[in-house]
Chains A and B, each alone.
Chain A
Amino acid sequence: MSSIGRTLGRDVLRDIAVTCLAVLFIGLSYGATAVASGFPLWVPAAQSVLVLAGASEFLFIGIVAAGGNPIAAALAGLLVNARHLPYGLALPDITGPDITGPEVTGRGWRRIVGTHVMNDESVVFALAQDDLPGKRAAYWACGLGVLICWPGGAVLGALIGSAVHDTGAFGLDAMFPAVILALIIPDLRERMTLRAALAGAAIALAAAPFLPAGLPVLLALAAILPLLRQRPSGVTAEAGATAEADGKSGEQSVGAR
């Protein structure tokens, strides 16, 4: 842990702590919602540890509480969680083809735990760091923090129940999108990425009224297509040129800010 602190510095650690605190608050509302919907405490408790992906858990609880089949609810949740596959693809192995393997999560038991703690927050913090040690440290710090705060919040919320049921009154529902948005903003300062991200958001919003939860976000990936057709140096105005000139530093220039 101390090496994580040395690698990241206080600013990033503080941001991760704030994010984990926000996750804890959302966990409170999740646990409270679950017991208010008639589930015993162990359901949100087990879900929060074993699934560790908030949106899909809310959806599962909601569908089953409304009388839906739990297997169908699980499949709907899996649709929401399918974005973790492209997340895994995006996590870097910037040392190149000589060392294969998921460089961010590691190997052996580290791989097993590191895979489980992959979520929106840990991925976005990893992407926001410039180099591999930074990415790895941010991923683990945020991943483990969420692993503690999400179930902790869920159990606490289930215990105190209706007191925190109305999260809207505190604006807690605005926290998650604000956290993710703040963390991708450095990427959005690149014009091409901004354009693609806006297009993706528009696609998802247009599809949301008609498609089951999860699909609209996946459909947003279509916004990558214009980037595929760009000439290599045109992917990003300045970083793309650096990547062409020096393949090894190409990945780093993506995260540079």
Chain B
Amino acid sequence: MKDTTLVVAGMATLAAGTYAFRLSGQLLRARISFPPRAAKLLEAAAVILLAALVAITALTEGHGFSGFARPAGVLVGGVLAWRKAPFLVVVIAAAATAALLRLAGVR
């Protein structure tokens, strides 16, 4: 590690800024009274963010494609969850599918 002071400054920036994001959404929510419809839309917005996060973490690595093993694992987990399989089964099946595909040489 080259410059400890600069790294600490970077870490502090990231920590403080992240906390500010976490706090400001709540404070905004407390200041404004939302009609039920707006509250529903905000919850839908969170679901959209999470869905996009799933797509990005499942399918990309850096700016490129993650390879087939990981999205295949996530897909198996997703299908099991859609069919209401227990959560533990979903998570283990996702990891096991990706691991077995890689063992079989699929990247």
Contacts and interface: CB of A to CB of B under 8 A. Distances in A.
B35 A185 contact: no
B104 to A, nearest CB: 12
Residue of B21, B33, B53 with most partner-chain A CB within 10 A? B53
A217 B49 contact: yes
Nearest to A25: B95
A5 interface: no
Given A89-B28, A93-B29, A56 B49 contact: no
Looking at chain B's contact residues, is the secondary structure mostly helix, strand, loop, or mixed? Answer: helix
Contacts of A60: 10-11, 14
Contacts of B45: 86, 89-90, 221, 224
A69 B5 CA distance: 12
A96 B39 CA distance: 11
Looking at chain A's contact residues, is the secondary structure mostly helix, strand, loop, or mixed? Answer: helix
Contact of A171 (B19, B40, B99): B99
A101 B22 contact: no
A216 B49 CA distance: 10
Contacts of B56: 204-205, 208, 216-217
Contacts of B59: 205
B29 A102 contact: yes
Contacts, number: 318
Interface in B15-41: 15, 17-19, 21-31, 33, 35-37, 39-41
B25 A88 contact: yes
Nearest to B67: A168
Interface residues of B, number: 76
B10 A116 contact: no
A53 to B, nearest CB: 6
A58 to B, nearest CB: 11
A43 B49 CA distance: 29
Interface string B65-107: 0100110011001101110000110110011111110110000
A245 to B, nearest CB: 10
Contacts of B57: 55, 176-177, 180
Contact of A173 (B36, B53, B98): B98
Contacts of A1: none
A243 B36 contact: yes
Interface of B: 1, 3, 6-7, 9-15, 17-19, 21-31, 33, 35-37, 39-60, 63-64, 66, 69-70, 73-74, 77-78, 80-82, 87-88, 90-91, 94-100, 102-103
24 contacts: A18-B91, A60-B10, A60-B14, A70-B3, A70-B10, A87-B46, A93-B29, A96-B33, A97-B33, A101-B30, A102-B26, A171-B94, A171-B102, A172-B95, A174-B97, A178-B74, A197-B51, A198-B51, A200-B51, A201-B52, A204-B52, A208-B63, A243-B40, A254-B43
Given A70-B7, A205-B59, 5 more contacts: A40-B1, A82-B21, A120-B53, A168-B70, A182-B77
